A and B are shown apart, each in its own frame.
Chain A
């Protein structure tokens, strides 16, 4: 290739890269994810220290410990947080703990109902509702809800989601407020969420907090680890790592669904594509700079 041809070629490439229609990028991303879903690409995972700390916290509680699990998320973040909720609920049931489910999000009732139907009732029929777990549901007020139940569950929850009196539930025996619980698990996709559980519950009562967050929120919770948050699951990867930890720790237990582990294959493919986009974008920039210098 002569010098002129080379310049013209790189110029075309630079222009092409700079003016690429965004819809090609959309198509490439959708196609890559769709193909990897259909091909069922799956990778094994291992728990990172942050996730292992969360797992160990649940694992080492004495059987019968009462865990408050707040499902503070909505359908928009369900893909990341629901696998965490499923895995932690399974773990708690396997270890014989008591689960108290509630939410500070209005969409929380639907999320709690899914957990009850898909995991608690289906996989652990011997662990009865009202004895091993209770779904208290959503109440308005955001962090003020946390503040109210920090002092007295009864001030906000006289009955569970189905309308049963909380006073008659064995699962709540000896649990009058958040301070009486052994562990708080907050699965959060925004405000109110993990931060509010740390500020208004964990740091005030001294009850340890374990958190799960969407990928977007994860970095901002790092400063709380390990003193104010005892373990942290970050995004789908964190959920997949918890599934892996549960598989390693309880090899006899078969997890009926492992949505996070299944999702990490397409996730890895999409990440690689995004990295490719970043590299291509910068190559385009370099070519343009070179072209400008040439003219």
Chain B
């Protein structure tokens, strides 16, 4: 019962929302009760989903507290870092929920640049997030040197496309091949790179997109029909 009833909810919600795509939306003050019903669930199920998403954030935070709090209690490996996580979490949550600094009282944007949360964002979140991702530039450079080798026909195709894009999408691309005469202008790197992006790349991307779409449709159907039960968790023995 505990897993069958939620499974019925998945099916009911899924089927109703599929049907909304086929029921025309009534004009204000017009339409029958069924149209009104489907318009209501189409709009409100999304709103409800958005509200529930906030509780999911809470769940994630509770999980984070559990993992790092446990490590600090047990004095486990690297526990001082976990303590730093907990402190950073606690301070940010406190100043954010109390909207300290910034607009008066509880009004205004919680992340206003004058608020403490806004300043934490500018001084901590922003540089840390940007730097973490900027690190990848170094790893990409290293990978280019170590792993990008012409070993097979397929690898050569990959390498050739990457090289043309890398140079063709910079101003050097135009400068390097500008001398090519008009009949051979299609070989100019900036044009060649655009051609690769818009023809062979597009062919591959479209095949991938169609493949993924079929996968999503199949998976959605399996979920609605109750063929994918694991997603709701295991029944307790």
Contact = CB atoms under 8 A, between A and B. Distances in A.
A76 B197 contact: no
Nearest to B140: A274
Given A25-B138, A113-B109, A152-B43, A48 B194 contact: yes
A237 interface: yes
Contacts of B53: 140-142, 144
A29 B138 contact: yes
A59 interface: no
Given A26-B142, A272-B172, A275-B166, A148 B109 contact: no
Contacts of A74: 129
Nearest to A142: B53
Interface residues of B, number: 62
A219 B205 contact: yes
B205 A275 contact: no
A271 B205 contact: no
Given A271-B172, A275-B166, A140 B54 contact: yes
Contacts, number: 161
B198 interface: yes
Interface string B127-168: 101101100011011101111111100000001001100110
A278 B144 contact: yes
A220 interface: yes
B46 A222 contact: no
A264 interface: yes
30 contacts: A25-B138, A25-B141, A43-B170, A44-B171, A79-B130, A107-B121, A110-B121, A140-B51, A141-B49, A144-B50, A145-B46, A151-B25, A155-B47, A161-B108, A161-B109, A163-B103, A219-B197, A219-B201, A220-B205, A220-B209, A223-B202, A267-B170, A268-B171, A271-B167, A275-B163, A275-B167, A278-B159, A278-B163, A280-B145, A281-B144
Given A144-B50, A156-B47, A274-B166, 9 more contacts: A29-B138, A109-B109, A110-B126, A144-B47, A152-B43, A155-B44, A223-B205, A274-B140, A281-B146
Interface of A: 20, 22, 25-26, 29-30, 43-45, 48-49, 74-79, 107, 109-110, 113, 117, 137, 139-142, 144-145, 147-148, 151-152, 155-156, 161-163, 219-220, 222-223, 235, 237, 264, 267-268, 270-275, 277-278, 280-282, 285
